[in-house]
Chain A
Amino acid sequence: MSDFTVAQPRPLPARPTKFRRATEESPLTRVTLILLTVGGLALLVFAPLLVVFAEAMADGWATSVASLGNREAWSAIRLTLLITAMAVPMNAVFGIAAAWFITKFDFRGKAFLITLIDLPFSVSPVVAGLCLVLLFGANSMLGGWLVAHGYPIVFAVPGIVLATVFVTFPFVARELIPVMIEQGRTEEEAALTLGASGWRTFRTVTLPNIRWALLYGTLLCTARAMGEFGAVSVVSGKIRGQTATMPITIEMMYNEYLSVAAFSMAALLTALALITLTLKTVMELRLSDQLSATRRH
């Protein structure tokens, strides 16, 4: 047993020279940019989100749940669900029809039609509501006739549905058109030459191909339909318990300084929005798989 050890020459600390790739920014720039964007989003998006729930819980759980239980709040929730349930299927059907028409047929004025579909995006919701009031209001020709026959549109549920449909009009079609252009017409043409009827072709060939894009568009449409405020507030007349949707009720409660009640309902809508976002993120992954699958063909 020897007491001494031979001092091994310690290997030099391996310090590979760090090369920065020419396609990257310096670490300092990267960190600054990340902090800048994340900080911006925190102030703009995350902080308001937290505030909604914090304000709703200001007087504890029980108070905020109770505030949703009264008749007025309840009728607003029911109305919003009803409107959404009516407007979204209408726009889904329309979106499919329009996308089908635009991508599977050639005709003149196609670009014009696409512009028309996008129109509701560039028109202020308030102006959209105004248009409906002018068209269907009690002192217009059409509106007067309808009111006289017992079908009031403005300041009633049909008007809110129309306003919601107008505002959420482009969502489904816009999601479908790129996917359907990508997929081309060959599969449908093959089905038709094999003797399938138009409807069967649609159901067994087209629909499975566009299923994720359709779901995605419908989801966006639903989120917007539940939260629509500008157009609806113009046509609804804000009659409590009758034509006040959830966003309208939030406004009324807020203006009456019923902060907890307003934020409780807002928290409910926010929760729905968060669910929508989660579903959307999941679906986006599926959709990108599907898109890359079609690109591989």
Chain B
Amino acid sequence: MAMLSIVVLLPIGALLLQGAQFGLGNIWDTVNRERVWAALFLSFKLAFFAALFNLIFGVLLAWVLVRYRFPGKRLIDAAVDLPFALPTAVAGIALTALYAPNGVLGSLAAQIGWKIAYTQWGIFLALVFVGLPFVTRTVQPVVEEIETEVEEVSATLGASRFYTMRHVILPMLTPAALTGFALALARAVGEYGSVIFIAGNIPLKTEIAPLLIVIQLEEFNYDAAGAIGIAMLVISFAMLLSINLIQIFSRRRIGHV
């Protein structure tokens, strides 16, 4: 347990201590600037939408992987984990090369006037990539556990397939899906490596909060870096807390599945 405290608690304590020395008023002054607000807002907004996309796509993917049989399924199943295994910097340069205006897919998109890399779309794409496995991997075991009898009962009682999906299956998946959503969100908010390559990093437009911290650090402005770091910690804890509350609420409503 000593190691836990040295490796995890001490550093976070140092950040909070730095913040305390700097003072709450000063932290507020640092954060309350247009550029910082823009970066924080961008980080959390895009992380939220990317996690939302992953929520829907991940549940679909889990369903397809468990219930359907098609050639290459094993390969697809293994590929879901690739974003975990692939270093984020590699993902970043690969996505940029692919979706840049002169890249293979980027040039296609450019023909219909859709710029992906170096815009917020690019950041969104990178965040979707890093958060991809979370929802699928938390929902998959739950789908495996569902007994088809439940669906049969629902069907014999006259429910359409869609009705069964909506009122029988989805509620069972909700808690696990929300857990995955929270994990994907936390990961996306803090993501740095894959985003900085594709973002273009234009202040006020495509500059994410972690990058702002790095910029402050490179100028040896530890106070400002600490202040933004604390702001990020506080907001992400508040978000995770509210997701946990929603989860408790949904568990209570549906019963323990």
Contact = CB atoms under 8 A, between A and B. Distances in A.
A120 B71 CA distance: 38
Given A126-B190, A132-B11, A230-B193, A223 B60 contact: no
Contacts of B189: 124
Chain A contact residues: helix, strand, loop or mixed: helix
A277 B80 CA distance: 10
A48 B68 contact: no
Interface string A23-35: 1111000100110
Interface stretch (A5-13, A39-47, A206-214): A39-47
A119 B18 CA distance: 19
Contact of A47 (B15, B87, B98, B191): B98
Contacts of B17: 134
B152 interface: yes
A25 B161 contact: yes
Contacts of B14: 131, 134-135, 140
A127 interface: yes
Contacts of A63: none
A49 interface: yes
Interface string B36-61: 00000000000000000000010011
A52 interface: yes
A133 interface: yes
Given A51-B94, A52-B94, A98-B4, A45 B79 contact: yes
B151 A23 contact: yes
B12 A125 contact: no
A122 B244 CA distance: 13
A166 B7 contact: yes
Contact of B217 (A30, A41, A130, A278): A130
B217 A37 contact: no
B91 interface: yes
Interface string A260-279: 00110010011001101110
